[in-house]
């Protein structure tokens, strides 16, 4: 596993960005896609249909992305079957392993902003009204509860990822400052 200060042995063309909800996976994927000329596909947009319903063609769409030569996407929906599609094709994983206070603050700001402004996202979806989301205790209904329940998912998973996919370069970024330094050094 590499750190923010380790050089990459080559410029990867297929990249996954892993991390807990709210870490900034989509933003980093978009930025690095721009920087390296990789096509960014937001995996949430592939998964969520209108009314937040899962799209039946989700895995077919993920297969189409993975089959391309150059791409970057967020590593999510692992329990929905994305691992055997994305991991074998990827060359690099950027793991955003940020402190809780950072990811909680980011998710809270993002969720509040989207809820209050009624921001339209993929397939016409908008965040639930704030009062409804905060009242919910089900992780499927409250993204803050979801984040808390999945906070250590990647820390628990990464040893198995390394063992199952030895071809993957994994860069563990422990703070947004490290990520910014890594981006500058890999421009």
Going by the DSSP 8-state scheme, the letter that residue 38 receives in this structure is P
Going by the DSSP 8-state scheme, the letter that residue 14 receives in this structure is E
Instruction: Determine the Cα–Cα distance for residues 94 and 119; give it in Å rounded to an integer.
Output: 28
Please indicate whether residue 108 or residue 47 has the higher confidence score (pLDDT).
47
pLDDT for position 132: 66
Domain boundaries defined on the chain: 14-97+153-185
Instruction: Determine the Cα–Cα distance for residues 97 and 6; give it in Å rounded to an integer.
Output: 16
CATH superfamily label, 14-97+153-185: P-loop containing nucleotide triphosphate hydrolases (3.40.50.300)
User: For tokens 């993957």, what's the residue?
Assistant: 168
- What angle separates helix 25-36 from helix 176-185, to the nearest 10 degrees? 10
Tokens representing residue 178 in the block: 């490290």
pLDDT for position 122: 84
Stretch 40-44: mean pLDDT: 96
Smallest CA-to-CA distance from 89 within 15, 164, 2 is with: 15
With beta carbons less than 8 A apart as the criterion, state whether 21 and 143 touch.
Answer: yes
pLDDT for position 91: 98
With beta carbons less than 8 A apart as the criterion, state whether 138 and 60 touch.
Answer: no
| Residue 162: pLDDT over 90 | yes
Going by the DSSP 8-state scheme, the letter that residue 10 receives in this structure is S
Tens digits of residue pLDDT in 82-138: 999 999 999 999 999 999 999 999 988 888 777 777 778 888 888 777 666 666 666
Nearby residues of 49 by Cβ (< 8 Å), 6 or more positions away: 55, 123
Lowest mean pLDDT among 39-43, 121-125, 163-167: 121-125
| Residue 169: pLDDT over 90 | yes
> What is the chain's mean pLDDT, rounded?
91
What is the reported pTM?
0.89
User: What is the C-alpha end-to-end distance of the chain, expressed in Å?
Assistant: 20
């Amino acid at each position: 596993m590499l750190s923010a200060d380790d050089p990459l042995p080559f410029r990867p063309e297929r990249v996954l960005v892993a991390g807990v909800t709210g870490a900034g996976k989509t933003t980093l994927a978009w930025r690095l896609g721009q920087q390296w000329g990789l096509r960014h596909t937001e995996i949430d947009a592939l998964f969520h249909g209108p009314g937040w319903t899962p799209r039946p063609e989700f895995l077919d769409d993920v297969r189409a992305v993975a089959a391309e030569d150059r791409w970057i996407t967020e590593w999510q929906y692992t329990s929905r079957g994305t691992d055997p599609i994305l991991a074998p094709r990827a060359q690099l994983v950027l793991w955003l392993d940020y402190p809780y206070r950072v990811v909680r603050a980011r998710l809270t700001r993002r969720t509040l902003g989207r809820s209050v402004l009624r921001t339209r996202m993929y397939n016409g979806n908008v965040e639930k009204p704030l009062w409804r989301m905060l009242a919910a205790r089900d992780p499927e209904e409250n993204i803050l509860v979801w984040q808390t329940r999945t906070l250590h998912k990647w820390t628990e998973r990464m040893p198995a990822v390394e063992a199952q996919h030895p071809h993957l370069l994994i860069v563990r970024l422990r703070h947004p400052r490290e990520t910014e330094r890594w981006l500058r050094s890999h421009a």
